[in-house]
Each structure stands twice: as structure tokens, then as C-alpha cells.
Structure 1
Amino acid sequence: METIKTIGVLVVLLVVGYLGYKAVTTPPPTPPRDDDAHPPPATSNLNVPIPELPAELAQHSGNAPAAGSQPMSGAASDANQVAAGRQPPPAFMGGTVPSSSDPSPASSPNVAGDGSRNKDGQMASLTPQAAVASAMSRPPADVLSPAGAIGMPDVSNTAGNANPRTGEQQPPDSSGSPSAGDIGQSGIRKEFAEFLEAAYRKLDRGEFSQVHTVLTAWYADPRLTPQEDAQLTDLLDQVAGTVVFSRQHLLEKPYIVQPGDTLQSIAERYNVTPELLAKINGIAKPEDLVPGMTLKVLRGPFDAVIYLHRRELVLMLQGKYAGRFRIGIGTDARQCEGSYQVREKTRFPRYFSDSGVYEAGDPRNPLGPKWIGLEGRLGIHSTDDPAQFDNPQAPGSIFVSAKDMEDLFDILTIGSRVTVLP
């Protein structure tokens, strides 16, 4: 009997010891992590709209970004940023630009670079109203929504989506969500059309600075279709013409001329040329400047980005697009990608070629009457021969039309940065 009791006690002790051992050596169960309980969606199933709109802009256009989509970047506005990479396009911000006390247009550089001038031979400019009205043919009033925004056709409409600029019909979106494949025959995506319409609504409210910032960020973005790029650039040309070169005080407070001021002294204070100040403010003679006069001023310097593949020179002011000029590429400008500064501005320049030195006026001198020198034989000059723009063996360096050179010479200053991109 004693033996049975002893065995029972040993069994109990063994069980208790085993249970104690398990309690000590077995870790407590780990609660599931949040990302295990809610795994992220598979990226292969995401249908990301291109171009994705900034969040606030999407609210205005009624087209919110798809869930899980990644933010898309736009073209960098500063010349060094353009060369280095792209930054996310900024969202539209609230607020309005104060109205100008002097809304009259000024003679201004030709932002489109096509040599257009007014009847006096001066460069045309746009008031805010003209900039909005002439950039795009507006849809008829019956497509306006009750909220006052320009309405876009329902994607379920079997007639397709109408382009707000051209009126061309686009195939309807059968998937119900925007994607890179939603490009109709016009080459315009629904979200891009809504993007432009939101911009127009802001322009109608006078919010030029915000629109200028956003359009600059998207300029020359490779994700835009050629048709979208053309529409955006067309609008951007006119917005920049109003913000930068009209007499609207959208960048700086009006400057009141003080006793002793001259165009030269004011220009030096703002790091621009006196010729540019005179053009913007319609001052024909320096002696016309009198104390108490209100001037439109810009804080420079202007910089330039040259896109060789686009054959364009783009002006930049304070990191924003300020206009563009068509360029030709001469034999002295081959393989010239890089960053430069304006080193000299010369009238009636000599041309130093492999075969000799040619004075201004010599038919073998292709530089024209003005030269903006960058480095060695690399610089910007003009041509009077339109055929040279399509000539792969054109003499000289980077050139523009004679009329555009008159503008460019008065805009760029010594020290202006010039970035040449492929």
C-alpha cells in the first residue's frame, strides 16, 4: 500500500513539474500586427490615373486620386532642379491674387517665341481676361454645372467625352476609373481635361500666381501626351505673359519712383535690365521717369533652360516659367549640354571660326548684331534666315530670330544661369 502511495505522489510531482516547465519555456502568443491584419493591396491591381492631380485640385475638379496611388512628380522649375530631376507638382492653394491698380497691358516679351508683335512693332501682352479667353475655346453655357464649374460629360455617356478645348469626342471610359489607356483619338485624357478646367476656374477668379506655379511644374513633363503638352504650354505661355510681362503687379508690390531715381538705379536694385523695365512700363525715354510714378517691377535675375530636343529656350524667373523662344542649333553648339552663366553681352560681335576671325557685317559672320556669350564659342545670337532653323549644318551657336533676340538681350543679364539639356 505504501508503495502505491509513493508512486501516486511521484506521478503528481512529475505532472506539476512538467506543467511548470512548459509555463516557463513557452513564450506567450504574439498578437497579430496591424499590417498582418490589414495587408496592403497588391500594386499590380492599382489603376493609377496619369497625370495624377494634386489633392486640392482634384477636389475642385471632382476627380479624387485613386486609393493607394503614388504622388506623381512634375518638371522642376529651377534650372538646377530641372537638370537634376523632378519635384512633385505643388497643389493649388487657397486665396486670390490682389487686383492691380493699373490693369493696362504693357509691351512685353513674346512668350510664345513666334515673333508676333502689335501694330507698333512692339511685343504683344495679355490682360488677365484676354489670357483666359484666348487660350481655349470655352464650352457653351449649357454644359455649366449648377456649382458654376465647367461640367465634364459622364463617363457612362456612350457618346464619349468631349475635349473642352477642341470639342472632339473621346471614347467613353468603360472601366469606370481613369488609366493610361483612357486616351481617345484627340490624345486628351479626362483627368487632364478636368485639370485644365480647374485651372480656368482659378484664372476666372484672378488666381494667376497659383495657376502659374502648377503649370510650371508640369511643363515638358514626359508623361503628358503631345496633345496635352501642347494645350498646357499654350495656356502657360499666356499665364506667364500676364504674370510676368503685363503691368499687373502679381510678383512684387508696385514701385513708387523716388526723387533721384533712374531706370538704371531701379533696375540694379531689382537685378534686371533698365531696357526691360522701360518696355514693361511703356517708358519711351528715360527722362520720362518722374517722382511719384508707379512702376511694375520684377525681381531678377532671369535664367534660361535650353531644351535641345524641343528646340526651345525657356525663360525662368524666381523658379517659374516666364516664356519660351524657338531656337536653332549651329555647329558650334554640338554636345553643349551643361550649366553655364552669361559672361558677356556684346553688340556687333566678331566671329572666331576655325578659318579665321570675321568682323560684324562680314557675310561670313553668322552672329548678327547681338551676342550673349556663355563659354568660348558657345552663346546665343540671332539669324535673319529662317531656313537655318532646319539646317543641321547651320553656322554659329544657339540662335533665335532677330526679333526674339531683341527681347532676349534685354531680359538676360550678366550672371544669368543657362542650363542646356538634351
Structure 2
Amino acid sequence: MDCGATADSFPRTSVHLSPSVANLGDLREGDIHRQGETAVQTLKTSAIVVLMMTVLYGAYVSMTTPPDALPPGLQSALVESENSEFGDGLPADFADFGIETGIPERASEMSMASDMLSSPGQGDSRADALPPFGGEPAGIEGSAEPPSFQFSDVDVDTELPPTASRLPAVAEGTSVAIAPEPGREYPSTGNSFSLPDPAEAADIASPPAAPEVSPQDTAADMESDAAAAGLANAIATADRQYQEDRRREALATLSLFYETPNLTSEQREQLLSRLDPLARDVIYSSEHLLEEPHRVGGNETLMDVAKKYDVPWQLLANINGISDPVTVLPGTDLKVVRGPFRADVDLANQEMTLFLGDLYAGRFPVGIGSDPAPRSGSYTIQEKKSAKTYYDMSGNPVPPGNPRNPYGSMWIDLGQGISLHGSPVADQATDQGCISIAGNYSKDVFGILSEGSSVTIR
């Protein structure tokens, strides 16, 4: 051996690492992953085992735990007898539990009981036969337990005393005729029976027919009742307002009911007995109950003031007691009302009613003539005159002031030949002309209605 050989003279050997050795790191990671999965499976198995043990323990406890004791009264009633049957029937204590004995009063009615019902077993006990509390009663289809009571211990052959009867004994298969006892008197009821008369029976069965009432009559009655109730309330309210010196409000309250239809004479009298004095005080007196006083300015006449308030100057002169409408001292406070007035003529009742706006302002009797005859409708005053020549049916003129002139001292033209006029008689309207007003009242009407006022004839 040549010891002097150098290292370079030795053959060189190449060392190659296998793939398994090269991937050692990957193998270690796989082992860790598998170990984690094994631990998870172990935990799941342990949880399932614990759950099953819990369920088994619960079942064991429920099976081994004795049931709750029955009430003391019921336990004493369920004590078994020697033959596991009740000798003398159920105890009397069972009545406290609302349980009936179930034993019929006549055993002969149950002659087929022994054939239909089977005897309970010798080892059965009455306590087992009773259903548990809250459970299914014994004897119901689908239950294996026997009924709680059977009739096997009833001796059907025991002879029972016969039931008392007034009928004679009858052998089976024979018949006995029953006849009244000879010599015995049977009292009569003392009543006789007879069929009723069909006509009388029909009258009794059929109630009297109610009077026929049309819907229109019913509606009218209801409306009349409502109006009467409303009027009564209005009168009470107006009386209270009058006592409180609120006369204008009282007049407005009652004025709403003046044109209410179907008022009785008594109701109308109650209404008018209040309206007339209220209208006199509120409208025609010198008290300032409607408007603030009007103070006359320099060079202002009564005609100027009347034109401003749309009323005739005669009305303001009558209310304020002025004789000369031209000479009115400046600074004088005048009672004024704001017009115009309107009129409503009722041909059937021969009455004319005046209104100031919605306020009742008085009424006057009228006469209805035929020259020409008035016609229903709405009119407007066209012209006013204190004297007018009248032409009779022959066309002859009758001058003013003549007793044959029906116009008197007032003539108000409504158009279409219709007019309101006075009367030659001071205290009475005439039936001549068209629509007449008594002479004394005609001057008042002339001073209240103005040209342009509306007049309704109905």
C-alpha cells in the first residue's frame, strides 16, 4: 500500500439523499394533522358515552322511584279483602269521592249479568282494577285491564219481594179482562168537552191587525216631535236670556222657529207671546240693542242717515221721535237699524210677517182681494206712494181719500200688477184690491219697507 498517496488520489464517491429523507419536514406536518383528527374523534366518542349514561341513569331513576302515596282516605278504601272482592258492596266512604256503588235496586233486572260478564281472576285486586290518576279508565276498548266493577258477586237467584201493584196477577200466556168493581162509584170530573168554534179559534189565534201607517205619516210625526222638543228648548233658552237682559239673543233664538211647520195652536201662542214684545223692544224702541248709536254730523239730515242704513227715513223718525227730518242737531245720537226689511205674505192665514235679516220684526193681518188676485212667488218692491188713484172694474177712476178707493193712504207696487196697499177702514183690511192692510197699520208698513225690499207670497 502506498502510504504516500495523496487525498486527491482516492476515488471520490458521490452521496445522494433519498426523497423520503429530503421530505422529512413534510412527514412531520402530516403526523401532526393526523394526531389532531384522532383527538377530535376521541372527544366526540366521550361526549356520546356521557350522554347515553345520562339517559340510562334517568330511566333507572324513573323506574326505581316509588309513585306518590294515595290520599289517606282513598288508601283505606282500597284495602283488599281476603278473596280480592268486596263482600258487602263498596264502602260507604266512596260517596266522599263522588263514586256511586253501581248496584241496582232490583237484582232481577240483571238476570243476564252472569252470562254477559266474566268473573275477575282470583289473584286480581280491586286496587289494580282502578285506573291510575290521570290515566285511561279501565274497561275502555284498547285497555288490557279489567273493569273496575263486575256483577259476578250478585246472586241473581235470590228471591226478591214482589213490587206492590194494584193490577191482578196474570199467568203467562193468559189474559184477564179488567172491569169496574161492582157497586163502586167513580166520581166524575164535572167537565164536559166540546170542540171550539173554528171562527172563534181563529179570532183568538190571530192578534188584532195594527193600523196601517204610511212612511210619510211616520216621518211627519217624527219631524213634528223633533220640532216640538226643539221649540221647548228654545223657549227655555230665550226665557233665560231675557232674564239676563240679553233680549237680542232671545229674539234671535225664537225667530228660528217662527216658520216651523205643523205647530199646534198652543205652541204658536207660546212662541208669539214672546216674539212680539221682544221685537218691539229690540227693533222699534229707542234702546240701542242692534247697532251702536249714530251721531249726527254737521249738515247731515235724517234722510242721509236713513239712506246710509238702507231703511226709510220715516222708520228712524218714528223710533227716535223726530218730527222734522231735515233739522236734526249735529251731535245727536240716533237709534239706527240696518235694513232692508223683507216681508212674507201667507195667503191661507191672511197674515204678513216682517223680518229684519233673520230677526222676527212683527206681523200684520191682511185682506185678500181679487183685483187682481195675488199669485204666489217672490217679488221686489218697485215703487211706493202714499196716495194712488184706483180704477174699478169698469175702468172708472176713484181718487185718493174716497171711501171707495181700497188703497187708502198706502200703495206699494210689487210688479206684475200685484200690490200691497192700505184700506179705507182704519182698523180693518178690505177684500177689495189685491193685498190690503188695515189703515192704522199701513202707515207703519209704509215706513218699514223700502224700495228694493223683497216680498214673498205663498
TM-score (norm 1): 0.52
Residue by residue over 1:240-296, the C-alpha shift from the partner in whole angstroms, topping out at 9 and shown as x without a partner, is 111111122222111111111110111111111111111101112235511111111
- The separation in 2 between residues aligned to 1:335 and 1:383, in whole angstroms, is 16
Q: Kindly tell me: are residues 376 and 223 of structure 1, through their superposed partners in 2, closer, same or farther at Cα, counting changes over 3 Å?
A: closer
Asked whether 1:199 is paired with 2:238, we answer yes
Aligned to 1:284: 323
Which residue of 1 is the match for residue 380 of structure 2? 341
Q: Distance in 1 between matches of 2:380 and 2:234?
A: 36
CA 1:333–1:206 in 2, change beyond 3 Å: closer, same or farther? farther
How far apart in 2 are the matches of 1:415 and 1:236? 26
Structure 1's 48 and 243: CA in aligned 2 closer, same or farther, altered over 3 A? same
Distance in 1 (alpha carbons) for counterparts of 2:416 and 2:361 = 27
| 1:377 and 2:417 correspond | yes
Say how many residue pairs are matched. 239
Residue number in structure 2 paired with 1:416? 453
Residue 181 of structure 1 aligns with which residue?
none
Quickly say closer, same or farther: Cα 1:310–1:220, change in 2 above 3 A. farther
Structure 1 residues 299 and 387: alpha-carbon distance in aligned structure 2, compared to 1, 3 A threshold: closer
Q: Please, which of 350, 360, 363 is the counterpart of residue 389 of structure 2?
A: 350
- Provide the rounded CA distance (Å) in 2 between the counterparts of 1:316 and 1:370: 20
* Structure 1 residues 384 and 361: CA distance shift in structure 2, 3 A: closer
Secondary structure of the residue aligned to 2:342 is strand
Residues 277 and 199 of structure 1, relative CA distance in 2, 3 Å threshold:
same
2:437 is matched by which residue type in structure 1?
V
Q: CA deviation at 1:367?
A: 1.3
Which ranges in structure 1 are unaligned for 5 or more consecutive residues? 1-43, 53-71, 73-188
Match of 2:43 in 1: none
User: 2:290 aligns to what?
Assistant: 251
CA distance in 1 between counterparts of 2:307 and 2:255 reads 27
Question: Which structure: larger Rg?
Answer: 2
Residues 333 and 312 (structure 1), Cα distance of their counterparts in 2 relative to 1, 3 Å cut? farther
423, 434, 440: which one pairs with 1:397? 434
1:300 maps to 2:370: no
- Identify the range of structure 1 (398-407 vs 349-358) with the bigger mean alpha-carbon deviation: 349-358
The 3-state SS of whatever aligns with 1:206 is coil
Q: Distance in 2 between matches of 1:379 and 1:397?
A: 6
1:339 maps to a residue whose letter is: S
Q: Per-residue deviation at 1:365? A: 2.4
Distance 1:279 1:323 in 2: 16
Change (3 A) 1:336 1:299: same
1:50–1:370 Cα change, 3 Å: closer
Note closer, same or farther for the CA distance 1:224–1:287 as it changes in structure 2 (3 Å cut).
same
Q: Which amino acid aligns with 1:255?
A: H
Structure 2: runs of 5 or more not aligned: 1-217
CA contact (8 A) 2:279 2:360 kept: yes
Query: Structure 1 residue 237: deviation in Å?
Result: 1.1
SS in 2 for 1:356: coil
1:51–1:223 contact (8 Å) kept in structure 2: no
Distance 1:290 1:377, change over 3 A: same
Supply the distance in 2 between the matched residues of 1:387 and 1:408 (Cα, whole angstroms).
Answer: 14
Indicate yes or no: 2:355 matched with 1:316. yes
Cα displacement (A) at 1:197: 3.0
Equivalents in 2 of 1:249, 1:363: separation in Å? 41
Q: Distance in 2 between matches of 1:281 and 1:387?
A: 25
Identity %: 36
SS in 1 for 2:297: coil
Spell out, residue by residue over 1:331-353, the C-alpha distance to the aligned partner (whole angstroms, 9 max, x if none).
12535111111111113201134
Q: Distance in 2 between matches of 1:49 and 1:361?
A: 49
Q: Which of 280, 300, 307 does residue 268 from structure 1 map onto?
A: 307
8 Å CA contact 1:51, 1:192 repeated in 2: no
RMSD of aligned Cα (Å): 2.6
Q: Map 1:115-154 to 2 at 5 A.
A: none
**CA deviation after TM superposition for structure 1 residue 191, in Å:** 7.3
Equivalent position to 1:407, from 444, 452, 455: 444
Q: Secondary structure at the match of 2:422?
A: strand
The answer (yes or no) to whether the contact 1:372–1:381 under 8 Å persists in 2 is yes
State the shift of 1:193 in Å.
4.8
Q: Decide which of 248, 256, 259 is 1:209's aligned counterpart.
A: 248
Q: Which amino acid aligns with 2:434?
A: S
Amino acid at match of 1:377: G
* Alpha-carbon distance in 2 for matches of 1:219, 1:191: 12
Q: What is the CA-CA distance between 1:195 and the residue it aligns to?
A: 4.0
- Is 1:232 paired with 2:278? no
Q: TM-score, normalised by structure 2?
A: 0.48
After superposition, the Cα gap between the structure-2 partners of 1:357 and 1:342, relative to the gap in structure 1 and judged at 3 Å, is farther
**Using CA pairs below 8 Å that are at least 6 residues apart, which structure has the higher relative contact order?**
1
Q: CA deviation at 1:382?
A: 1.6
CA contact (8 A) 2:293 2:335 kept: yes
| TM superposition outliers: structure 1 runs of 4+ over 6 Å | none
Q: For the structure 1 residues 260 and 335, does the alpha-carbon distance in structure 2 shift closer, same or farther, using more than 3 Å as the test?
A: closer
Letter in 2 for 1:247: S
Q: Quick check: 2:427–2:439 contact (8 Å CA) kept in 1?
A: no
- The one-character-per-residue Cα deviations of 1:129-162 (angstroms, maximum 9, x if unpaired) are xxxxxxxxxxxxxxxxxxxxxxxxxxxxxxxxxx
1:203-227 CA distance string (max 9 Å, x none)? 1112222222221110032232111
- Provide the C-alpha distance between the structure 2 equivalents of 1:336 and 1:362, rounded to a whole number of angstroms: 27
Q: Is the 8 A contact 1:220 1:229 kept in 2?
A: no
